[in-house]
Structure 1
Amino acid sequence: MIKPPNVILAAVLAAAVLVPANASAAPTLPAPTPPTPTAPVAVAAALPSRVGVTIRPALRPPTPADPRVVTASAARLPAPQKVAPTQGRLAASCTPGEFGSRTGSALVHFVKASTADCVNTLFNVTGRDAYNVFREAKMVTIAGALRDTNYPGNNSTSVKQLVMFLRAGYYVQYNHPTDVGTYGPALKTAIRSGLDRFFGSAPSRDVSDANGEILGEAVTLIDSSSENARYLYVVRRLLTAFNSQYNELWYMRNAVNNVFTVLFRGHWLDDFKAAVVADPSILDVTYKFTVDNIGLLGTASGFLVANGGGELTRFLDTPALKPKVRPLSKSLLDRSRMTGVTAKLWVRVAELAAHYDNANCSYYKVCDFETALASAVLPIRHTCSSTVTIRAQEISATNLSTTCTSLAGQVSYFHNKVRNSGPVANDNNTSLEVVTFHSSDDYKTYAGVLFDIDTNNGGMYLEGDPAAQGNVPRFIAYEAEWQRPTFAIWNLNHEFTHYLDGRFDMYGDFAAGQVVPAVWWIEGVAEYISYGYRALPYDEALEEAKRHTYSLSTLWQTTYENSNTNRTYRWGYLAARYMLERHPDDVDRMLAKFRVGDYRGGYAIYATGIGTRYDADFNAWLDNISADPTPECTGTDTRVLDRNCRRSNLSATTGNLTHFYIYLPAGVSTLRINAGGGTGNADLYYNPDTWATPTTHTARSTNTTNTESITVTTPTPGYRYISLYATTTFSGTTITTTY
């Protein structure tokens, strides 16, 4: 992922707080009054991983309930219980027009008959569709239906669809007010009556996943409708009632977490802050919740405790509440430590106390705490070379060496692919800092406060201003703890490609390159180099290729705002791979423009110069790579390699060699040899004259895993020799040769 310009800060925040169920939601950048209604994950823009802006503590939302990656600790959380299905006939169609053409009871019946996934698509509507679906009269109708619908503690009466429709309406109206029109007193009265009925029903107190699924949506609707002050009693009720039974149920746990979004975003609402000043009991309730559940720290539910402490401490932003909040926040700091199992709570409280009450930082003992925190959390500093330094939390010497070797080998692989002639002008990013936390949980705990970034992602590259002398570009990453005992830094080679691409292909900082749609290249080449260099199949992208979702000319227009994970990364990979492998001369012309800052000129090469010309060939190519992305070599002699083919399922015991040879015709400019996959440790050797061995070779790749790569430039015609040496017994390994 990469650096967004300022306009993408809203998108960064948009994925920072997830609310459970199919329509998981996240607040965008809060406006003065009211804040942006929450949106589903499906609507939020794909987050770039190369960033140029940071997120101040005042804007950093509560921690998401749902981890972006499945870790061992998260896997222990029980799966959601099955919930009651909607009764009655399902709507046969799901288009904005179907919703927009109906009013009154017909609209209510259609919304209830639709699936939750169908209603979730309405967060995307704009223009005339937005008005037809979400004008105030329509919203009043659905809010009235929420009031009039019996809630039995599950979704058998389709309450979830009603709530999601209302959430979508507030979201679309906020983002497209001229399309939808204004919302006034009629809707305010109607939404209050609907929410009053829901939260006043006895089944809304049921402790079950069937209730929790709808309850979580309704809590989110409190915030979407800016009724945070009116429903503070719901926040108190859920925090007070929370116990081990809640914690064992996925939807109930997440519903409770959603109250922290109500508290967080209430700070942008004057009536909310006035209500808390008039009755500050919510502070005592939040403090007690945090203290009573401090034992959850270190478990998959630890975010609840950190969010409790953080949202309590955030009330230091209100002068009238500071005398009450100070000792409570200080108590939480005294009960926790900056490292260890309670760190998640300590870091969150310390960050907000230092931000909102810095004049009294000595009272909390958090003056300049970031310096001490960085020293405690990132004690390792390892120099790979004059251009790469690693700062790490906990990495062995062997794994540090492996990481350095991987990055060093990737440099030449990258240069061979993009065919550059040196850094772009005025780029002073001569060295890179690689920051690696010990786990995804450590990344979420520490990276935000130490580097002012959003952490609901797979890592972040901070390029800074490459023209500034002394600028230190860095990417912040974490070990993939779910792959242990295999050591891996998640997205290591993807993020390193961003550094190389920014230094050698993209003039200026990241914002400079965002004047035109170029995400297909920025994220696509990072994926392409990462998978190609490691000789790994990109299975998710190859599955996407079978679906033929996008034409190449559509991918030219990909931005972070109009995209999602599939389009940004998987289809970006497919577009970049196609262009680099089938039309490298076009890529050369495009990059020649990018390298001098002529982004509009580079855009013109693919968007108008190529346009739709390659669409048919791209479509056929998708079939070819998804059917057999790298075919097996066909020779009966299993030692024979050939152009653009592989030998798979290879094995050897410790100390033994598996030999191969390949015949190169005249005119080959570059031979690439990649090995990967399987278990054990196979090292790769090359010799142009005789059988390659650890003692007779001219090139080698000797990482501590099976991921190896050798690039041979301008080889002469004739037979060439390759081998895999079993440093330890390996099996299931694949070797690929391309030229």
Structure 2
Amino acid sequence: MLGAAAFLALGLLAPQSQAAPAGATAPGAGNPRGASAPRAIPVPKSPDAIGANPRFRLSSQDGTEETGPRPAPAAGTAKASRLAATAACPDLSGVINSTGAALVQQLKALPQITCTYPLFNLTGENARKAFREEQMVTVANALRDSFATYAGDNSTATGQLVLFLRAGYYVQDNNAATVGDYGTPLATAARGALDAYFASPRSKDVTDANGEILNEVVTLIDSTHEAGRYAGVVKWMLGSYNGTWPGQMNLAMQHVEWVVDNAFKAKNDARGWRAALKADPAIVDTWAGFITRNEAQLNRLDVVSNVGRYLGNVLDVPELKDRVRPLLKDLINRYPNVGPTAPITMNLGWATRQYDRGNCAAYAICDLGQRVLPAVLPIQHTCTPGLKIRAQDMSPGQLASTCTSLVGQDAYFHRIIGDKGAIPGDVNTDLEVVVFDDYTQYALYAWALYNIDIDNGGMYEEGNPAVPGNQARFIAHEASWLRPDFQIWNLNHEYTHYLDGRFNMHGDFDAGMTTPTIWWVEGIAENISFGYRNERNADAIAEAARKTYRLSDLFDTVYGQEEDPEVNSNRVYRWGFLAVRYMLQKHPADIETVLGKYRTGDWAGARTFLKQTIGTRYDADFETWLTTTCATDDCGPLPDATPPATTIPLCTIADTRQFDQNCRRDGLAATTGNYSYHFVYLPAGVKQLKLTSGGGTGNADLYYGGGSWATPGSFLAKSTGAGNTETLTIDNPPSGWVYFTLAAAQDFSGVTLSTQSK
């Protein structure tokens, strides 16, 4: 398995997602999935999926932002010092404060290209002085004149001029209000400089000396948004590249990835790339030849895979579909879909799904998922008859701990929500948890195996719970950035979606989106996940201090509601957590009313209750709660909805360890590290056994062992929250004697334990 240090680079080789973002909304509902993934809930993206930009990335380069020019140092730049300034580099105040010919002279006097790096960090008045348009035009024109006599190296300091322009575009892209707008004068001057370079015969020298300039000029093509104008340059590089290119030339080839990636993404073909492809379709053939000619290099992180996989995006140019289809069919089936060649074959396959959906036969990949499934997810493990794991790479201990976590969470969920049984007609008794080794593997294969979008951190697919045999499935990946600790990203959050859908939300996911229910759907998932793991939701608590939303506004939350993806994530997850936490603490009867309507599919009735009956009358108290309870008590504890039922009769059997099917025992006690052992006889036909403890003092945890004695080291289910209030619901328990135990995490006394069966 790849370590966390290697994860970022490999993860960026996964298929891109240029489809509608996960937050795209359906009318009045907030449907997050698109037509390809029905009845599915997207998982919050992992840190590696997000990087510095909330959009899903497809780049093997560093994690810099993807819509604007890249900052220096670019990945793989010469091994000169990467520090902001070194002893060999002078202070740049002369560059910042000079104009005209003096500015050009200051730049050319810099002893090496890397001395320009601090320019990428300029802000405020220094950024304006250095990079206002007239300054950029001056340098671009000087670069044009220098390239007229280009000698194939940096002997005339042309590299310093190129880096100045790159820095200017980058800083202006991130600080336009400060630097000012760029218009036609700069566009004309920059084209002149680029034209002059590529007109020089030395621009095609396959040497490190030329490559040092070429790799920055290729990046400048991206910075200037001129991909279409220089499509011929890309064609030449694709047609000429081979494994003998030296390091700096190889780096220039890597930077072609940025040019074509951003060119395809440009709205309305703003960079002219698609028009250039249509004008010279032979570029497509050259691109395919670039891959096959250099196939010996295909090894996950190679430049051929990085640049080659964008050939699939040509399918998004309707006029070229027929031309590129046979090329993609050949490439996808020419190389293995697993192992070192997977990034090229699976990315190209993903493009056929994205841009030629429903036409898998044209590429002979309709069975692609079936073909790769045994190799990609070889591990199959059963936790309980209704809970199974399919994994790529999990140890026996990791499988066992995951099962334990999920089984215990089931009981915790019902402690908080109550247990009124499954929604009538819901037959989603089985859940499959699919675990990829990391985000890379998830993004490479999940689309093919499960027909889902992969611009997310995973996906819960409820399916249609009314259809017998329907398979509910949570498709996940390990949180590789946390290694050596083992964690499945959002495991407990997503398992809550399964439980919530089965016990609270009538029908399938689409039905639940008829009206805005996301405040509850995501809010309860966050509350159960953090509460069950006994973790503090620091992000939500920090949001509470900002008092961004009124409670009445949060009842309107849908996916994709806020334009900024990060703001939207805050509203959906952090503020959903806060809204549900407040309502569970302060207005549990109202929650029960809303859930009563959700359980029957009365979406309109629930909406009316939230927006009219409750309306704005809790808004002021909610704001007070945010600033008091959240600030002083981490938003307070989750209330327990299922304390022991004192109406259950006392057990009458003389042996105080033994229970009837429906009775309670009071006053149970044990000292730290010891146990209170119990058992009950169940006749054949019992569908459910519920064990509930509470009351008294100390901390007693509840364990269930089935046909064997239960201890913290040997059990089938457990409930181990703080205090003595614990609940376990065992579906379809075995007939005969079954065993359960109160274990003293701390001395406990005066505890009530009850059994209920049906």
Q: Contact 2:644 / 2:692 at 8 angstroms: preserved in 1?
A: no
Q: How does 1:218-297 map to 2 (within 5 A)?
A: 218-219=224-225, 232-233=231-232, 236=235, 245=248, 256-257=257-258, 259-260=260-261, 262-263=263-264, 276=277, 279-287=280-288, 289-290=290-291, 292=294, 295=297, 297=299
Q: Contact 1:560 / 1:568 at 8 angstroms: preserved in 2?
A: yes
Q: Who is 2:611 aligned against?
A: 607
Q: Which whole-Å CA distance do the structure 1 matches of 2:343 and 2:257 have between them? A: 18
Q: Contact 2:423 / 2:599 at 8 angstroms: preserved in 1?
A: yes
Q: Who is 2:541 aligned against?
A: 542
Q: Which whole-Å CA distance do the structure 1 matches of 2:59 and 2:19 have between them? A: 26
Q: Secondary structure at the match of 1:389?
A: strand
Alpha-carbon shift at residue 492 of structure 1 (Å): 0.8
Alpha-carbon shift at residue 407 of structure 1 (Å): 1.2
Alpha-carbon shift at residue 310 of structure 1 (Å): 3.0
Q: Contact 1:296 / 1:302 at 8 angstroms: preserved in 2?
A: yes
2:669 corresponds, among 683, 689, 692, to 689
Q: Who is 2:326 aligned against?
A: 326
Residues 1:53 and 2:39 aligned together: no
Q: Residue deviations 1:363-385, cap 9 Å, x none?
A: x7746232111122122222222
Q: Who is 1:559 aligned against?
A: 558
Q: Which whole-Å CA distance do the structure 2 matches of 1:444 and 1:491 have between them? A: 16
Q: Which whole-Å CA distance do the structure 1 matches of 2:287 and 2:171 have between them? A: 30
Task: State the one-letter code of the partner of 1:618.
Answer: F
Q: Which whole-Å CA distance do the structure 2 matches of 1:199 and 1:359 have between them? A: 41
**Cα distance change, pair 262–416 in 1 and its aligned pair in 2 (3 A):** same
**Cα distance change, pair 254–504 in 1 and its aligned pair in 2 (3 A):** farther
**Cα distance change, pair 214–546 in 1 and its aligned pair in 2 (3 A):** farther
Q: Which whole-Å CA distance do the structure 1 matches of 2:19 and 2:349 have between them? A: 24
Q: How does 1:469-488 map to 2 (within 5 A)?
A: 469-488=468-487
Q: Which whole-Å CA distance do the structure 2 matches of 1:415 and 1:399 have between them? A: 25
Q: Contact 2:298 / 2:341 at 8 angstroms: preserved in 1?
A: no
**Cα distance change, pair 457–481 in 1 and its aligned pair in 2 (3 A):** same
Q: Residue deviations 1:567-616, cap 9 Å, x none?
A: 11111111111212222211111111111112122122223322332223
Q: Who is 2:310 aligned against?
A: 308
Q: Residue deviations 1:598-648, cap 9 Å, x none?
A: 21221222233223322232223223454444599xxxxxxxxxx999xxx
1:592 corresponds, among 581, 593, 596, to 596
Q: Secondary structure at the match of 2:441?
A: helix
Q: Which whole-Å CA distance do the structure 1 matches of 2:647 and 2:627 have between them? A: 27
Alpha-carbon shift at residue 44 of structure 1 (Å): 7.6
Q: Structure 1: any 5+ residue segments left out of the alignment? A: 1-16, 20-24, 30-38, 57-63, 89-112, 117-143, 167-187, 223-227, 633-642, 646-663, 670-685, 700-710, 728-733
Q: Structure 2: any 5+ residue segments left out of the alignment? A: 1-10, 39-45, 65-70, 74-83, 85-91, 98-121, 126-132, 141-160, 177-182, 204-210, 563-567, 649-665, 680-689, 704-710, 714-719, 726-758
Q: Who is 1:529 aligned against?
A: 528
Q: Which whole-Å CA distance do the structure 2 matches of 1:521 and 1:511 have between them? A: 15
Identify which range, 467-476 or 145-154, moves more after superposition: 145-154
TM-score, normalisation: structure 1: 0.60
Q: Contact 2:299 / 2:341 at 8 angstroms: preserved in 1?
A: yes
Q: Secondary structure at the match of 1:558?
A: coil
Alpha-carbon shift at residue 165 of structure 1 (Å): 11
Q: Contact 1:383 / 1:389 at 8 angstroms: preserved in 2?
A: yes
CA RMSD of aligned residues (A): 5.7
Q: Who is 2:376 aligned against?
A: 377
Q: Contact 2:215 / 2:251 at 8 angstroms: preserved in 1?
A: no
Task: State the one-letter code of the partner of 1:565.
Answer: S
Alpha-carbon shift at residue 209 of structure 1 (Å): 10
Q: Who is 1:708 aligned against?
A: none
Task: State the one-letter code of the partner of 1:415.
Answer: H
Alpha-carbon shift at residue 155 of structure 1 (Å): 6.5
Q: Secondary structure at the match of 2:616?
A: coil
Q: Contact 2:505 / 2:598 at 8 angstroms: preserved in 1?
A: yes
**Cα distance change, pair 516–726 in 1 and its aligned pair in 2 (3 A):** closer
Q: Contact 1:332 / 1:349 at 8 angstroms: preserved in 2?
A: yes
Q: Secondary structure at the match of 1:689?
A: strand
Task: State the one-letter code of the partner of 1:279.
Answer: D
Q: Which whole-Å CA distance do the structure 1 matches of 2:554 and 2:610 have between them? A: 10
Q: Which whole-Å CA distance do the structure 1 matches of 2:471 and 2:696 have between them? A: 44
Residues 1:715 and 2:694 aligned together: yes
**Cα distance change, pair 344–629 in 1 and its aligned pair in 2 (3 A):** farther
Task: State the one-letter code of the partner of 2:673.
Answer: T
Q: Who is 2:519 aligned against?
A: 520
Percentage identity across paired residues of the two chains = 32
2:587 corresponds, among 572, 576, 583, to 583
**Cα distance change, pair 717–427 in 1 and its aligned pair in 2 (3 A):** same
Q: Residue deviations 1:705-734, cap 9 Å, x none?
A: xxxxxx98463446665699998xxxxxx9
Q: Secondary structure at the match of 2:35?
A: coil
Q: Contact 2:700 / 2:724 at 8 angstroms: preserved in 1?
A: no
Q: Which whole-Å CA distance do the structure 1 matches of 2:483 and 2:47 have between them? A: 24
Q: Contact 1:81 / 1:209 at 8 angstroms: preserved in 2?
A: no
Q: Which whole-Å CA distance do the structure 2 matches of 1:231 and 1:460 have between them? A: 40
Q: Contact 2:557 / 2:572 at 8 angstroms: preserved in 1?
A: yes
Q: How does 1:375-454 map to 2 (within 5 A)?
A: 375-454=374-453
Q: How does 1:32-431 map to 2 (within 5 A)?
A: 51=33, 53-54=35-36, 67-68=49-50, 77=62, 81=72, 153-154=163-164, 159=169, 200=195, 216=222, 218-219=224-225, 232-233=231-232, 236=235, 245=248, 256-257=257-258, 259-260=260-261, 262-263=263-264, 276=277, 279-287=280-288, 289-290=290-291, 292=294, 295=297, 297-299=299-301, 304-305=306-307, 307-311=309-313, 318=320, 321=323, 326=326, 330=330, 333-334=333-334, 336-350=335-349, 366=365, 368-431=367-430
Alpha-carbon shift at residue 297 of structure 1 (Å): 4.0
Q: Which whole-Å CA distance do the structure 1 matches of 2:647 and 2:698 have between them? A: 13
**Cα distance change, pair 614–502 in 1 and its aligned pair in 2 (3 A):** same
TM-score, normalisation: structure 2: 0.59
Q: Secondary structure at the match of 1:547?
A: coil
Alpha-carbon shift at residue 479 of structure 1 (Å): 1.1
Q: Who is 1:460 aligned against?
A: 459
Q: Contact 1:207 / 1:246 at 8 angstroms: preserved in 2?
A: no
Q: Residue deviations 1:135-175, cap 9 Å, x none?
A: xxxxxxxxx99997965644699645877899xxxxxxxxx
Alpha-carbon shift at residue 519 of structure 1 (Å): 1.6
Task: State the one-letter code of the partner of 1:570.
Answer: R
Alpha-carbon shift at residue 320 of structure 1 (Å): 5.2
Q: Which whole-Å CA distance do the structure 2 matches of 1:360 and 1:533 have between them? A: 43
**Cα distance change, pair 479–157 in 1 and its aligned pair in 2 (3 A):** closer
Alpha-carbon shift at residue 393 of structure 1 (Å): 1.4
Q: Secondary structure at the match of 2:507?
A: coil
Q: Contact 1:423 / 1:504 at 8 angstroms: preserved in 2?
A: yes
2:573 corresponds, among 554, 569, 572, to 569
Higher Rg: 2
Q: Who is 2:734 aligned against?
A: none
Alpha-carbon shift at residue 236 of structure 1 (Å): 4.0
Q: Who is 1:6 aligned against?
A: none
